[in-house]
Structure 1
Amino acid sequence: MKGKGSIRKLLDLAAIILAVAMVAFVVGVLVYRAGLRSSAGENYRIAFVSEWEGDPEIYMMDLHGEHLQRLTDEPGQESYPTWSPDGRQLAYLHLGDNNGDGKITLEDGMLLRIVDLGSGKRRTLARFSGLAFALHWAPQGDRLLLGLVEDTDGDGKLEPGADHGVLRVISVESGQAVILTSDAVPFYQVSWSPDAEQVAFAAGPQPFTLCTISSHGGQPQRLIEKVGLALAWAPDGQRITYARTSPMGTELVTIPAEPDPEATPAPTSLTDKPLPAYIIAHIVWSPQGDKVAYVAGGSQGPKDVFILDIAQGTVAELSSHINGDVGGISPTWSPDGRYLAFSAQEGDENSMSDIYVATVGGGVNRLRVGTGDSYLPAWRP
């Protein structure tokens, strides 16, 4: 009997030890996962514009929609946040009552501002008339590329074709600008070359022409005609990607950035077959150069976000993970290429716009901030 009692005590002790070990294991797993989530959130930051507290202001959050931080707080409208390559500064555009007459009009002009996230100090770099459509920091960090439409005919309206589309390269240190183009043509998406020595853009009127120009000024070089407005310079610097439209549909193609002047340009298709009756609105290469995100849809109605895997030749439709119609805007890659952020409306055109984060090869999460529209996301390097 005594032996049986000892055995029972040993079994009870073993059960207790096992239970404690299991609890420790579960707690350890939870702590580890929480640590991964925390570290992932801490290492990823997204700047974006939101109207949830009234006027459009710029905020920052992590990829889980947590650690929300307001970066601007001033009357008016903030837009087009873009990061310096080192992630220490954020440039943006401010439209406000810059004339002090109590109204916000085209005559107020737009202010190009930079905020230092370490010190919180901000400065106004330049002031421009017109309405901006693009703002990109140069890969080397010394200049900014600004695209805008100016009211050149003085009628108080901004009309492509009647008014000038202007590209300016602005010194971050001095604010001095070099005007690259001043033609009465529409622009949509513009792109730095990886070495920041050139800028690619599409010029109209239709059919549009893909052009490059030195970022220090000069005459544009016409590469190829009959292109769409969306384009992007590939990370290798050797190619430019654009949308080509034909009676069969639209497809993503690349062309050498420095074509042989003696030969006819020979575009290379990135897709197996054209997308029927699709318009491609944005093209964004991943930093690693292995994937391309783009926004496509019909001429009317919502547009969806896609990711093309270059090596596999496969296309993932991100909006298939989201209920309702989605109009994808401004896709932007995380620095490591693991995530893609974009803004979209879930439902009709009157629905609220939110920021979404897609995991490559995984699902899509909506990051709702308050009750106002959120858009124009930009990953911090």
Structure 2
Amino acid sequence: MMKRFFCYFLTCLICSPAFAQFRIEVSGVGLTQIPVVIAPFRGQEALPQKISEIIRADLERSGQFRVINSPVGAFDETSRPELTALRQAGADAFASGSVLKLADGRIDVRFRLWDVVKGQDLSGRSFAVSLPDLRLAAHRVADDIYEKLTGDKGVFSTRIAYVTKAGQRYQLWVADADGENAQSALASPEPIISPAWSPDGNQLAYVSFESRKPVVYVHNVSTGKRRLIANFKGSNSAPAWSPDGNTLALTLSRDGGSQLFLLSAAGGEPRRLLQSTSIDTEPAYSPNGQHIYFVSDRGGTPQIYRTTASGQGVERVTFTGTYNISPAISPDGRWLAYISRVGGAYKLHLMNLPDGAVSVVTDSTADESPSFSPNGKMLVYATQQQGREALMTSTLDGKVKAKLSGQQGDIREPHWGPFFK
């Protein structure tokens, strides 16, 4: 069921069973990938999850790495690897490590990363974590490897939010960036839509229909406590945080029609952003907080526009196609991701904002809700495959995609959280 601009509040509803576990399927090959070997960690066989496999899946999903099966024997972080054999296998980098259960029940995770070409020790770290945090430790190792080898910060230890429905039960979930370790943040008999992470990663704004109309709540992820932020006359929808976390842009119909307003994150009286007789919705802040992108039909069909954060002036951004919605801006402000209708199909597009060049990221036909990873190198979005709804991640060039699909049911409304502060 696709999100439609003119029926925004009604067609975001989710209609299949919920689930919390994912199966990651990576497809495609990037144009340039770093060949790396991730050796099995010593001691991991005694644990319920193989940490080296988690690291491998993270790196493959990023599109930046080609993981080679280890041509050498068992190694841990204290051993110098057999560099000649690794070079002959075509590896540029090698990571190994160990896991050990401590007396207090925690797991000691250690790793070391080698530059195979230069024969240099690049990095090494250790973590003492509880068993439930073993996956998080693996993601942190993957983050370190990613950053050392690419120069960019890794996002594997960040989180995503999404929504499911089972029967008449809707749930808001918070999960690892690979979709695993999902925790239910909220359950409701009424629809939940449009989750949006605060810049510090501690809160989620979302829209709930439990009052028999759309209202906006802000939910503290750590404590589970929430507060009502927008319950004005008519509908309250599409919350988006300002980069400093002090303001929410949202869509209200309190004055008739759907219009953009700004509201203090502490609550209070909203301020109308634009004076318009058109439908204006789906706001998204630029990373520097100076502009707000939004969807409007002021030109006759839904297109993406931009105004200043104070509502001074409106500039049209999208010109290709007659139906463009769901804007998301990359953390560096360079890219605009959005959904465009092409011949009846809804596809994820990417615009290079400095020059306006547009590319199609997907070959699917029912894409929705794009959201950038906090390093700006990947996207998560919802789509349909073989009649079922699923989450996908993709590199910006669309060359490498990973399907985060569950054992049963459908998932919707993904939003990728920020780096941990």
Structure 1 residue 143: Cα displacement: 1.4
Matches within 5 A, 1:159-308: 163-181=256-274, 183-196=276-289, 199-201=292-294, 203-207=296-300, 210=305, 212=307, 215=310, 221-224=312-315, 227=316, 242-244=317-319, 250=320, 279-298=323-342, 301-308=344-351
TM-score normalised per structure 2: 0.57
- Taking a change above 3 Å as real, the CA distance of residues 90 and 193 of structure 1, as seen in their structure-2 partners, is same
Instruction: Please identify, of 352-361 and 137-146, the stretch whose mean Cα deviation from structure 2 is larger.
Output: 352-361
- Taking a change above 3 Å as real, the CA distance of residues 192 and 337 of structure 1, as seen in their structure-2 partners, is closer
User: Does the CA contact (< 8 Å) of 1:53 and 1:372 recur in 2?
Assistant: no
Answering whether residue 246 of structure 2 is matched by residue 128 of structure 1, we say no
User: Does the CA contact (< 8 Å) of 1:83 and 1:378 recur in 2?
Assistant: yes
User: Does the CA contact (< 8 Å) of 1:166 and 1:181 recur in 2?
Assistant: yes
Structure 1 residue 141: Cα displacement: 0.7
In structure 1, the gaps of 5 or more residues are: 1-20, 99-103, 153-162, 228-241, 245-249, 251-276
What's the counterpart of residue 74 of structure 2?
23
Structure 1 residue 142: Cα displacement: 1.0
- Partner amino acid, structure 1, of 2:234: G
Structure 1 residue 307: Cα displacement: 3.6
What's the counterpart of residue 43 of structure 2?
none
User: Does the CA contact (< 8 Å) of 1:56 and 1:79 recur in 2?
Assistant: no
In structure 2, the gaps of 5 or more residues are: 1-71, 76-80, 83-93, 99-110, 114-134, 143-154
Identity %: 24
Answering whether residue 181 of structure 2 is matched by residue 88 of structure 1, we say no
What's the counterpart of residue 71 of structure 1?
185
2:393 and 2:299 map into 1 onto residues whose CA distance is 34
Answering whether residue 417 of structure 2 is matched by residue 380 of structure 1, we say yes
What is the CA RMSD across the aligned residues, in angstroms?
Answer: 3.6
1:308 and 1:193 map into 2 onto residues whose CA distance is 14
State the SS of the aligned residue for 2:371.
strand
State the SS of the aligned residue for 2:73.
helix
Structure 1 residue 372: Cα displacement: 3.1
TM-score normalised per structure 1: 0.62
User: Does the CA contact (< 8 Å) of 2:295 and 2:327 recur in 1?
Assistant: no
Answering whether residue 161 of structure 2 is matched by residue 47 of structure 1, we say yes
1:85 and 1:346 map into 2 onto residues whose CA distance is 31
1:309 and 1:168 map into 2 onto residues whose CA distance is 27
- Partner amino acid, structure 2, of 1:329: E
What's the counterpart of residue 335 of structure 1?
374
Map Cα deviations across residues 138-162 of structure 1 (whole Å, 9 max, x no partner): 1111111111345x7xxxxxxxxxx
- Partner amino acid, structure 1, of 2:329: W
Structure of larger gyration radius: 1
Structure 1 residue 189: Cα displacement: 3.5
Q: Which has the higher contact order (CA 8 A, sep 6+)?
A: 2
1:356 and 1:279 map into 2 onto residues whose CA distance is 22
2:185 and 2:271 map into 1 onto residues whose CA distance is 29
Between Structure 1 and Structure 2, how many residues are aligned? 282
- Partner amino acid, structure 2, of 1:281: I
